[in-house]
Structures are given as C-alpha cells and as structure tokens.
Amino acid sequence: MEYITVKRENAVACIEINRPPANALAQALLKEFAEALDQIENDAESRVVLIYGVGRFFSAGADIKEFVQLRESGSFDSLAVSGQKLFEKLEAFPKPVIAAIHGAALGGGLELAMACHIRLVAENAKLGLPELQLGLVPGFAGTQRLPRYVGPGKAFEMLWTSDPLTGTEAVQWGLANHAYKEEELLSKAKALAGKIAKKSPLALKASIELVNYAKTNEYEKGLQQESARFKELFGSEDGEEGIKAFIEKREPRFTGK
C-alpha cells in the first residue's frame, strides 16, 4: 500500500497514515485504510489497533483538490455514504481502536478519530470540523458523533466558527481521553494499547458490541440526512465558492445559492 502501513508490535497492530504533507484523506488512502482493517481483523495475533499519522499531522482533513475533481466529474454522489460506512465499520470494529493525535485532526481527520474507541492527543494538537468554511457540512458522521462527545452547544460553536480545540481543551470537553506532551504521545499510546491487549479478546469484542447498543435509530437517520445534505451542499454554488476560495487562500463570498 502507498499511504497506509501496518506494523504489528507484539499484540498491537499499528496503522501509520503517511501521505505528505498533511495526511489528507484522499479516496485512495481511505481504500487502503479499509484494506488494512480487513487485514487486522483476520489476524488473530493483533488484539488492539493503534492509529497515528507520520510527519507533522494526524490528518488535516479531506483532499480539497480532489474535491474539485469530484465536482468536475460529477462523481461525488457516494462520497459521504462510503466514508460513513468505513467509519461505522471502525467504530464497530471487534478489536479496540486507539487514535494517537498530534499536529492536527481536522475535518475528515477528526471524523476518523471520533470513530475510534479512544483518543489520545498531544497537548498542542488542533481538533476541529471546519467544513462550514467551505460552504459544506461534515460528511463522515461528524455531525452525529461530535455532539455525543462535547454536547450540542459546543458542537454548534465548533461547526459555526470553524475554530478548533487544542488537545488540552479536547480532554476538558470529553472529545479526548488524555493529553500528553507531543514527544510522549506515541509511547503513552503504545503503553495503553499494550495494557488493553492483555485482556480477553472475547471480552473486548463483547464490550465493544454492548457499548455500541447505545446508538439509536435516530443516529442512523442522522447519518442518512448528513450524507444527503453533504451531497446537496457539495453541488451548490456556495460549495463551489468555498472550495475555490480555500484553494486560492482567500475569504469565501457566500450568497446562499
């Protein structure tokens, strides 16, 4: 695989995201990520999954230049649905999944992290959903998961302002479990993963299934509405303007069309 590397350290399967400069979640990367999950699920020796980014970021979000190509080709219809399915699979994965976040987890990067069972962060990391800055909404279940962690009020604030939380703030708001100095993050994450890996695989799988029972039918409806609105906004004039403004590094001029 070109962007995803899987390394097993004892009973911990480490998924490295490596797509410089920002580990943007292009379609090719997400396809490789899905293949990595299949590989780990079928590996009886891998009991815990640890996900982290190589370089400066965990993942700074979607590949906006790829968005332009998708708009021009008209092939964005299933973009949100496919991303939602992948991250739903991650949240229901039968082995514990830990995200170790440094640098930034923005947009799709944060949606990926929120689908993990545990999030550990660097104190100076940035976590946010800036999609409204593009005239869009999150499309990979961000609107459904974020309020579960930080509450509706804070979720609205983060969505409407596009302002990220620091790693330290993310812990205070319940979006992350623990914050560490960046140089300590990965070793702390591996230590936690190793501790969890000593538990019974059967009990770990059962606990994941049981906690996921808390997801309601309204959550499923929310996913359907999110993907529909994402598609609608992606095809709007405001969506086109937001993407164009981002690439041109200027303030977008939205008209409501």
Q: Tell me if 200 is assigned to some domain.
A: no
Q: Tell me if 256 is assigned to some domain.
A: no
Q: Tell me if 240 is assigned to some domain.
A: no
Contact criterion met (CB below 8 Å) for 113 and 119? yes
Single out the residue of 106, 120, 105 nearest to residue 50, CA to CA.
Answer: 120
pLDDT of 75: 64
Q: Give the integer Cα–Cα distance in Å for 178 and 189.
A: 10
Q: Tell me if 176 is assigned to some domain.
A: yes
156-186 pLDDT, tens digit each: 999 999 999 999 999 999 999 999 999 999 9
Catalytic: which of 32, 88, 111, 240?
Answer: 111
pLDDT of 218: 92
Whether 131 sits among the annotated catalytic residues: the reply is yes
Whether 9 sits among the annotated catalytic residues: the reply is no
pLDDT of 94: 98
Q: Tell me if 102 is assigned to some domain.
A: yes
pLDDT of 72: 76
Among the residue ranges 114-123, 159-168, 179-188, 238-247, the one predicted with the least confidence is 238-247
58-105 pLDDT, tens digit each: 999 988 888 888 877 766 767 899 999 999 999 999 999 999 999 999
Q: Tell me if 105 is assigned to some domain.
A: yes
What's the domain range around 32?
A: 4-183
Q: Is the dihedral of CA 184, 29, 236, 242 positive or negative?
A: positive
Catalytic: which of 32, 88, 123, 131?
Answer: 131
The percentage of the chain sitting over the pLDDT mark of 90, rounded to a whole number, equals 90
Q: What is the pTM of this model?
A: 0.95
Q: Tell me if 204 is assigned to some domain.
A: no
The percentage of the chain sitting over the pLDDT mark of 70, rounded to a whole number, equals 98
pLDDT of 67: 87
Q: What's the domain count of the chain?
A: 1
Q: Tell me if 214 is assigned to some domain.
A: no
The token pair that represents 3 in the structure block: 């962007």
Mean pLDDT (the chain, rounded): 95
123-151 pLDDT, tens digit each: 999 999 999 999 999 999 999 999 999 99
Q: Which residue has the tokens 């590996």?
A: 43
Task: Write phi, then psi, for 220 (nearest 5 degrees).
Answer: -65, -40
223: pLDDT strictly greater than 80: yes
Q: What CATH number has the domain bearing residue 39?
A: 3.90.226.10
How many other C-beta atoms lie within 10 A of the C-beta of residue 195?
Answer: 10
39-52 pLDDT, tens digit each: 999 999 999 999 99
Contact criterion met (CB below 8 Å) for 129 and 107? yes
Contact criterion met (CB below 8 Å) for 125 and 167? yes
Q: Is the dihedral of CA 176, 177, 180, 186 positive or negative?
A: negative
Q: Give the integer Cα–Cα distance in Å for 113 and 6.
A: 17
pLDDT of 70: 81
